[in-house]
A and B are shown apart, each in its own frame.
Chain A
Amino acid sequence: MNYPSRLIEDAVNEIAKLPGIGKKTALRLALHLLKRDEEQTRALSDALLSMRTQTQFCRQCHNIADGELCAICSSTKRDASLICVVVDTRDVLAIENTSQYHGHYHVLGGIISPLEGIGPADLHIESLVRRLQQASEQEPVREIILALSPTMEGDTTAFYLQKKLKPTGVKVSTIARGIPIGGDLEYADEITLGRSIVSRVAYD
C-alpha cells in the first residue's frame, strides 16, 4: 500500500502488529483518530502507556494487579481455602463472569508444550507448591481446582500438576468436562463454565 504520509504509515504499521488487526483496519483506525480531537488520541496513548508501565502481577497468584496483591487475593470476601488453577488472566475473567466461584486463583502463565519451547520451569508451578506449603495453620488450603482446557496440552499440564501437588496432601479436582473437547475456556459459555466448576470431580 502507498501511504500519503510517512507518519500515517508508521502508525498503521504499529497498529497492525496487534493480533487480529490487518493493514486495512489499522488504516481505518488511524484515519479515525486523525478526525477526532487531539485530546482523544492523547488519552488513548496515555492509558496504553500507563497500563504497560504500571500494571503489576499479583505476587501471590500472578493475576494482573494494581498493587502487590490483586483485588481477589486482597478481598476479605473470598474463600482463601480454594484455589482455582488457570492458564492466563482471560480464564480468570471468564470464570469471574459466571459468578459461581468465590475462591482464589493461581495463574500459570501458559501451558506445558515442549514443542513450543515451554517446559514446566517456564510456568508458575513452583510458586503454587510453595503457596500450599506456606499456607497458615489457621487458613489451610482445602482444595485445588484445575481449570485447564481439555486439550492434550491441558491434560499433560493437569497430570504434571497432580504429581507435583500430591506430596502437599491437598485435594485436587478438575472442572467437569462440560466444555467441548479441544475447546478453550475463554470461549465456553458462562452457564456451561459455571456448571462445570460447581460439578467438578476429584482426582483419586
Chain B
Amino acid sequence: MTIAALGGQGGGVVTDWLVLAARKAGHFVQATSVPGVAQRTGATIYYLEFFPRADAPPGREPIMALMPNPGDVDIVVASEWMEAGRAINRGLVTKERTTLIASTHRDYTISEKMALGEGRVSSRELFEIAAANAAKLIGFDMVKIAEAAGGRISAVILGSIAGANVLPWGIEEYQHAIKESGLGVEASLAAFEAGRQAAIDAQAIPLTAAAWPSNHGAIDSSDYTLEAVPTRLRARIVDQFPLNLRDLLGMGAARLSDYQDDAYTASFLDRLERILKYDAARLADPKLTAATGRALALWMSFEDVMRVAQVKTRRGRSERIRREVRANPTDLVNVREFVKPRVDEICGTLPAGLGQRLLDSPRAHRTLSRFTAGRRISTSTISGFLLLRCISALRHFRRGTLRFKLENERIEAWLDQIAAIAPRDYDLAVELAECQSLVKGYGDTHERGWASFSQISQLASKLVGEPQSAARLRILRDAALSDDDGAQLKHALSQLAA
C-alpha cells in the first residue's frame, strides 16, 4: 500500500504503526519512504508491502519491492485531496485492485495561492477522475475528523485504513501498534476510532459530486440578503426588477445600506434601472444588469478608511475571532489591527477641496507622511476601539470626501460607457461590466488595478462591433490578472494592436 502525505503530517508515524500492526498479525512487512527535502512541506511518499508468514515455506522470505508499481497497489491513502490526483497521475490507482482513501480537504499549493484572483484547481473535477480510476473510493475530511477527535491526522489516517478493511487483520492489531509506540496514546486511539468510523460511514454513504456545490465546496452564508434590505427599498427591487435578479440585488442593496445609508442604496437602484433598459428584450436572462449590479454594488462600497474601521468595530467580530483562533472560554483574547494609512488615503477622507489641495502641495505631503507609519491599534482596548469607532462614524460625511468624489466620477464614466456600448455590442458591454473586478485592494494593489482597468476600458470603446470583441476584452482582463507587474497585460495589448 502507498501513503501519499505532506511533510509534517506524520506519514512516517503511520508507517511505523502499520509495521507494528502487520508484525503483530504475523506478516512479513517492508516499509520504505522518500523524504529527502520533501520533509519541508512538500509531497512525500511512503510504501509498504505485507506478506503472511503462514504462506511462506520455512526459511523462505518474499522479495518485496521498494517502490509502488502501477497495478501492484491495493490501498492508496492520500492525506490531501490533490495528492490523490498526484497518486492517480503516477498510475498507482488502478480500477482492478486499488482502494483509494483520500482526505477531501485542500491544502492549497503555492501556485494556487499566489494567483491575483481565483487560482485554485477544481476539487469537483478531481472527484470525477478519482471515482473513475479507483476500484473503491473512500473520501472524507480527515482534518475535520482529527480536530473533532482532538488528535492528529496521522491517527485518523490509520483509522481510515482500518475502516477500509482491506488489510487482513483487525482493530486490535492497530490499537496494539498505537499503544506499542507509546506517544500520546489516548489522543491517538480516539482519533484512530474517529477515522475508522468516518471511513465506515464514507463507505455506507459514498462520496458524490454533490459534496462540491461549486468547484471548491460550499460558500458560507452572507449577512447581506434581500430580507436584510429596508422594506421600501425591498419593495422597489421586487417591483422594478425581474425575479431572477432579486437575490443578487438584495445582497447589493443590503450591503450599501450598511455601508452608507438607504439614500445611497436608492441611487444604486437608480443607476441599475438605467442599465436594465438594455435588457428589456432579455428579461429571461438579464446578463448585463446582473453583471453590472454585482460590480456596481462592490464598487459603490469601495474600501476606504471609514469602511475598514466600520468592519473592524462591528458587533460580534470579537466572538468570530475567538472562534477562529480557537480560544477556550476561559482564555482572554486581545486583538491588534495592523494599519498603515498612506498620504492619499488620509487626503481621501478629507473634504474634497482640502484633500486635493493637500495632495497637490509637496510640503503638506511631507508633513502628512509623518503620520503614515505602520500602526498597531488594539481594538480590545477602550482607546483603540473608540478611535476606530470615531473613524467609522466619519462615514456619514463620506459623500463630501475626495475619495468619494473620485470613485463616483469613475463609476459614472464606467456606467456611461456600458450604456453607450450596450445597444451596439451587448456582449462587450457585459465584459466591460465584469472588468470592475480588476479594481480591488488597497494602496499599490488598488492603483495597479485601476491602471489596468483604465487601459482596458479605453480599448473597449475601440472594440465596439469588432468580431470577437467580447472574447478579446476577456483575454485582456485575464492577462491583467496573471501577474502583478502588468507585463502580461502589456503583451496582450501589443498582440491586440498587431
Do A and B pair up? The answer is no
Interface residues of A (CB under 8 A from B): none
